[in-house]
Every structure is written in structure tokens, then in C-alpha cells.
Amino acid sequence: MTTEPYHGRLRRLGVRRLSAAFTTGVIAVAAVLLAPQPAAADTPWLAVSQDRYASFTVPAAYVQEHLGAVSQVVVEGNFGPSSAWSEFGLTRRGDVWSGVLGALEPGLYHYQLTADDTKSLKDPTNSTSVASNPLWSTFLVAGDSARWLTDAPPGTGGKIETLTYRTRNGQRSALVWTPPGYTAKGPKGYPALYLQSGDGAAGTDWLDLGRSKQILDNLSAEGAMRPMVVVINDANGSDDTELKDLRKAVADSYRVLRDPANQAIAGVSDGATLAVRAALVEPGQFGYVGWFSGQSVPDVDRKNAKAINRSVELLRLYTGNVTDPAHNVTYRLTKALGRADVRFEFDGVNPDGGANWDTWQENLVDFVPRLFRHVSDHGPSPGHRQLKGEFTTPPAGTTPTPFLSEDGFVTFETTTDFKDAQHVTVWANWAPGGSWLRVPLTRDGDRWRATVGPLKPWFYYYRLIVDRVAVKDSSNPTKVTSEPMWSTFLIPGPGARLLSDVPAGRGGTVESMTYPSTVAGQDRTALVWTPPGYDPGRAQPYPVLYLQHGSGQNYTDWVEMGRAKQILDHQFLDGDLTPMVVVMGNGNSSNFNKELLENIVPTARARYNISSDPSQQALAGLSMGGGQALGVLRAYPGEFAYVAALSAGFGSGAGVDVEAINNGTRMLRLYVGDQTDFVYPSFMASLTTLNNLGIRYEFDGVTPGPHGWDVWQKNLIDLAPRLFKR
């Protein structure tokens, strides 16, 4: 059985919406900062590479000058699963706080800098702004799936104007987009779409975060929409009477058609509720209605059904996944409309969208081309799912955490121990590639809760951060010996099959091996995996792999975090693995070469039926362990015919016996994470050293991900079946 390779070039995301033939503008992007450098006051804090990595470099002096002495700095933004607001921790390196996040999916991101949970500031080197949130900045990651969000070529887009009008509650204003070629005078009128903002948001958010101008400009340039006037309104505090005042002001100031068949309305959050209520309570106002994650279900009176169905050409509902509070509300609205015999369309549940502008941008792209024209497609968007029912989690305190729901959603809940806490997050490896993000939890009585997802099938580890202190989730019985605050969980699915347990009784055996360490001056322990059917009396000794951990870890990590047992069990049962013994020793040693060759190896040979033939011995390790493996290769070339280093560099070429290494090594295979792996620069430099020396090695490209277990698990999956087959 073959498995999908986890290394190689980063693949671009596929196109999800509308015409794939649309040509995007290219935004100027800077190269990722591989080695953080001190940033001057006018040096950009953010650089975005063409392969979608965001590098943050924040001067520590600026932070201290404006926020005082701080212990941590994070970038808060819509980086989390379902574009949820989350915190990306920066690391203090010399004069800067820095970090690299990616590869990010194409789209618009907004962020701010926050220190010690409560002290926030805007990135002064980013000229973008969000009117409703002065501390926010934005950046666009280009890509096919974000093509509608790019600026249209100069001179080809519509115009944005401000319309001031009066209502009974005083003077208000709205933003108005007019299409290319619109003039104040002419023989023909234009249909009009009224876009409502949401609760706590401003009309300007449709521009700053919704990218509505870019979307409308690009749809217009593509010929994917009918020319129309679009009115963007701040729905906060507005009601049906104020909406009528706005419509009158628009009719007095713009060349718009006033009949219902040429009037449309849509909104987000409570703006969506207002939009649907306007169509249902007083039929005959709007012919087209859009519900983008509405906040509450308006009254639906069956006696109005005929009038509604007669006047409303399109009522289309949109919602995000279960992290969107509108998910359940939308389900209730579909039932209410069904009972009242009111016709509607449903775009399906957006599986990757929450209650945020990433979702509503997609809603607008789908909705606008359907207005004031015949459309043959009335079904959900590609990839969207059925709305099966309301999403509910178990009552507080009734289930261990995390609670896993269908489709990869995970609910975290604290005990009541933190009822007086001020800021609680859950830190986990769910950023792109397995990097780490903190998702804020929300206070729920005496507990804190959050639902996160969807998470792809894989192995996850996490800890709680309570008022900047790491805390173990005491409700989760899993443990990580070297990281006492961590807990783990597995999202099952085909993509995580090799990390899951094999059926009971079919896997290999992991047992402890105690050995005397002459280096440490005490007994130490290794873990040893033997394959199913291991025969200690077999005439032919088994090949052996010595598999080493990294710095700050110990011999338990490859089992507890690397899922080595599960990986080896599956690959053996799949027929991909040469039957072998795997020894996971303690690499925390002042002299690893001596520890390995004089302590670990002799004990393993005495206790297990393993070969001493170099052609039947392999040595591999991650990070520090990878460096140790390469150190043994340099000092004892030919002792191990198979050598692999995961996220570790070769070092200098001084004193290297190239001929002995090439003659004695059947496979030297190297792995590294992407730009988020801090050893990436030194690793790439070491490839030049190897090339200059003439040492033969294998490197198939980066493994997308950081200096972490997501990468190393994939490396082991790739490495183990390659051993002892040459």
C-alpha cells in the first residue's frame, strides 16, 4: 500500500468559486524574513512572501516605549480555523519580537499587536486601516480563491460615495457604490441593492473587511453581475422606518428603479435579520433578499406566504459552520419558512467558514450575480453541506474535554478552577502546517468554553493558557512526559489513519529497556518497538533502527508525541515495512556517540535478536537527535548504512571523510520543515556544504510545517518504509 508523500513543493489551493478564467492583479509582496533583523521605525513589521508566508518582525524597543515592559507579544488576527480570531505568539530574539506564520490560505487578514493579554497597538508600518477598529491593520494574501478581493485595474472599477440623509432619529450616512459608466443623468435607471452591516459593526466594514468594492468591481469587469447601485448601510440602531428613509434618499439622489423587482436587500448578522424581516413582514418592498448569518428568526406568518412568494423572486440563505452562531438560527429559519410555505434557496453550510468576513465575502460573491437576472443554478455552492439540524454541545461539566463533534469540530471546556481568570486561551498545533495558535475561550458561567474547527484528521496537542500561565487540561487523561502541561487528541479520518491505533492484538509491542549509562553514571531507559510476530529465536537477526528525540525531549516522545508505534504498526500490516526492531534511546547526553555505541547498542543487542551488520543498522533523529545522527555519521562512517536527519543541519565540512561516508552509507536522507521551521536557513546552507564535499544524500523538498511533530510524524511515515530495502 502506498501513502501520499508529505514533502515536496507547496501546492496552491484550488479555485472554489465562479469562473476559473478570471485573471487577478498581483499584489506586491516582500520575501519572507528567514533570519529576523532589527527593524527601524519605518521598516515594515510584516512581510508576505509569494508563497503565502507572513513574517512579523516587531522592534522590542517600540513595544517597550508604547506599552512598557512586557513578558509576551502576540499577533491577534483571523488566522485560526474557520478564520477565527486567534493569537500567534512571537518570540523575543535579540532586539525584535518575531515569528513566521504560513502558508496562509489566500484571503484578507486583519490583525493587531497585543502584549500581556491587555495592551494592544496598531502596526504603525502598515498604512491600511479599519475605520471601526482603529488598532487593526489588514493584508491580502493573493491566490486564485481570493481573486475577487484584489483591486481592479485603475480606471476600471466603480466609485464609492457618501450619501447623507435625514431620519426621524437625526442625520445618518450611507456608502454608495455606483458601477463603471454610471452618470447622474440618463434615460435608464439602475436596480439597487441595500447591504446592511451587522451588530457591533459599521457600514465601513463592508469596505475595509468585506472588500465589497473589490468584489463588485471584479464581478462587474467579469460581466458576472448586472449593473446596479449598491447602498451600504450601518444597520446598528436602524429599523424598518429608517430603511424607508434611506430608500427615499437613494431614489432622490441616484438613478435607481423603484419597483420591487429592481430592489434587493441583504445583510450580515442582525443586518440579515432586518433584511429578511423587511421582505416577510411587509411583502412587496424587495424582490431579492439575502440572509448572511442572521442573528434571530423574524416572524414568518403563513397568511403572507402568497404575497411573499408573488413579490420575492429570490430569498437565499447563507450560514457558516457550527462555529457560526447563525448555524442554529438558520436551521430554525428554514423550518419556519417551510411551515409557512415560503419559497427560499439555501446555499448550504460553508464547512470552512465561521461568523466572519471571510464567509460573508463568499456570500456576496455568490449572491450578487443572482440579482435582477435569470439564473439557472439554484443549488448550494460547491463543497457546501446540508443543514442537518442544530448543533449542541453537552451541558457544562457533563463530559471530558475536548469533546469531538462530527466533521472535525472540537469543544474545549475548563473546570471551575479558573472562574476568576481574566484571559483564557487554548494553544494547539492547528495553524497552517501544524504551527501553534491560541484561540480565546469565552466565559460560560464558572467555566470557559470554545468550539474550534473544522480540524483535518490528524494528531493534536494543546495546553490551556490562563492569564499567561500554561495549565494542563485536567479533564483530559492523556499525558506527555516531557511536556507536563500538554494534552493530546486525535481527529479520526483517512488522513490520520497511520496515526490511529490498529485493532487490538494486531500491532507490535513497545516495552522498556533499562541500560547502564557510563556517560550519565546511572541506569537509563529506552523504549523498544518489536514488530508483530517478533521471534527472539529467529535464525536471521532483525534489522534495527535507532530513533532519537530532540532537545528538551526524552525517550518517551517518539511514542507519546511522534505516534511511532501507530505508524510502524500500520506500515507493517500494510506490507510497507521491512520487519525491524526500533530502539528509542535517551539522547540527553554529554557524549552521545559514546552513549549510543557503548551503552544503548550493546544492551539492545544483548536483549533483542538484532543484527550488528552495518547494512542492517539505521540511525535517525529529529532536531538535536538529527544532529547527533549526523555526528555519528561523521565520526564513524559506515557504522550505520542508513542515516536520516529530521530538521537538522550537517554543519561544516571540516574533517569529513567523504569517501568513507559515501562507501559506507546506502542512504543518507534529509528532512526539514518550511520557512516556519527555525532551522530551515542553516539546513539549506548545509545542503551547499554537502554538495561542495560531494557527499551523496537524498532530499525531496521541504515538509510543509514548523519545527514540530506534524513535520516529524510525516518524516517517519516517509522514512521507515525506505529502510533495509537496498
pLDDT (average), residues 456-461: 98
* pLDDT value at 1 more than 60: no
Confidence band (pLDDT; 50, 70, 90) for 7? very low
Q: CATH topology for 501-722?
A: Rossmann fold (3.40.50)
Weakest-pLDDT range from 18-32, 159-173, 483-497: 18-32
pLDDT tens digit string along 566-586? 999 999 999 999 999 999 999
Contact 82, 407 (CB under 8 A): no
Can you state the percent helix, strand and coil of the chain, rounding each to 5? 25, 25, 45
Question: What local confidence, expressed as pLDDT, does residue 41 receive?
Answer: 53
Contact 686, 649 (CB under 8 A): yes
Question: What local confidence, expressed as pLDDT, does residue 288 receive?
Answer: 97
Weakest-pLDDT range from 199-203, 605-609, 685-689: 199-203
* pLDDT value at 39 more than 80: no
Q: CATH topology for 403-497?
A: Immunoglobulin-like (2.60.40)
pLDDT tens digit string along 622-673? 999 999 999 999 999 999 999 999 999 999 999 999 999 999 999 999 999 9
Sign of CA dihedral 576, 578, 581, 585: negative
Confidence band (pLDDT; 50, 70, 90) for 401? confident
Q: Which amino acid is at 520?
A: A
Closest listed residue to residue 227, CA positions, set 267, 265, 255, 258: 255
Question: What local confidence, expressed as pLDDT, does residue 186 receive?
Answer: 84
Query: Which CATH code for domain 1-150?
Result: 2.60.40.10
Alpha-carbon distances of 481 from 179, 461, 466, 508, 725, rounded to whole Å:
62, 13, 21, 22, 34
pLDDT (average), residues 540-544: 98
> Residue 190 CB: number of other CB atoms within 10 A?
20
Mean pLDDT of the chain: 92
Could you give the 3-state DSSP secondary structure of residue 471?
A: strand
pLDDT (average), residues 38-53: 82
pLDDT (average), residues 496-511: 98
Q: What distance in Å separates the CA atoms of residue 662 and residue 643, rounded to the nearest whole number?
A: 12
Confidence band (pLDDT; 50, 70, 90) for 726? confident
Q: What distance in Å separates the CA atoms of residue 626 and residue 632, rounded to the nearest whole number?
A: 10
pTM of the model: 0.91
Confidence band (pLDDT; 50, 70, 90) for 5? very low
* pLDDT value at 132 more than 90: yes
Question: What local confidence, expressed as pLDDT, does residue 201 receive?
Answer: 76
Confidence band (pLDDT; 50, 70, 90) for 25? very low
Confidence band (pLDDT; 50, 70, 90) for 170? confident
Spell out a b/e string for 284-321, using b for 16 or more CB atoms within 10 Å of the CB, else e. Answer: ebbbbbbbbbbbebbebeeebbeebbebbbbbbbbbbb
Confidence band (pLDDT; 50, 70, 90) for 167? confident
Closest listed residue to residue 218, CA positions, set 296, 153, 294, 315: 153
Question: What local confidence, expressed as pLDDT, does residue 608 receive?
Answer: 98
Closest listed residue to residue 14, CA positions, set 106, 100, 102: 106
Domain residue ranges in the chain: 1-150, 154-370, 403-497, 501-722
**In the block, which residue shows the cell 403572507?**
304
Question: What local confidence, expressed as pLDDT, does residue 158 receive?
Answer: 97
**In the block, which residue shows the cell 419556519?**
336
What percentage of the chain reaches a pLDDT higher than 90? Answer: 86
> Residue 75 CB: number of other CB atoms within 10 A?
25
Question: What local confidence, expressed as pLDDT, does residue 521 receive?
Answer: 95
Secondary structure letter of residue 340 according to DSSP: T
Q: Which CATH superfamily is domain 154-370 in?
A: Alpha/Beta hydrolase fold, catalytic domain (3.40.50.1820)
Q: Could you tell me the three cell numbers for 554? A: 526524552
> Residue 511 CB: number of other CB atoms within 10 A?
11
Q: What distance in Å separates the CA atoms of residue 710 and residue 345, rounded to the nearest whole number?
A: 41
Question: What local confidence, expressed as pLDDT, does residue 238 receive?
Answer: 59
Q: Do domains 1-150 and 403-497 have the same CATH topology?
A: yes
pLDDT (average), residues 276-297: 93
Contact 81, 454 (CB under 8 A): yes
Q: Which amino acid is at 228?
A: M
Torsion angle of alpha carbons 624, 629, 635, 640, nearest 10°? 170
* pLDDT value at 2 more than 90: no
Closest listed residue to residue 254, CA positions, set 190, 345, 199: 190
pLDDT tens digit string along 660-714? 999 999 999 999 999 999 999 999 999 999 999 999 999 999 999 999 999 999 9
Question: What local confidence, expressed as pLDDT, does residue 22 receive?
Answer: 31
**In the block, which residue shows the cell 465562479?**
18
Angle between helices 357-367 and 212-222 (to 10 degrees): 30
Secondary structure letter of residue 236 according to DSSP: T
Confidence band (pLDDT; 50, 70, 90) for 236? low
* pLDDT value at 370 more than 70: yes
Taking only Cα atoms into account, the Rg of the chain, rounded to an integer number of angstroms, comes to 30
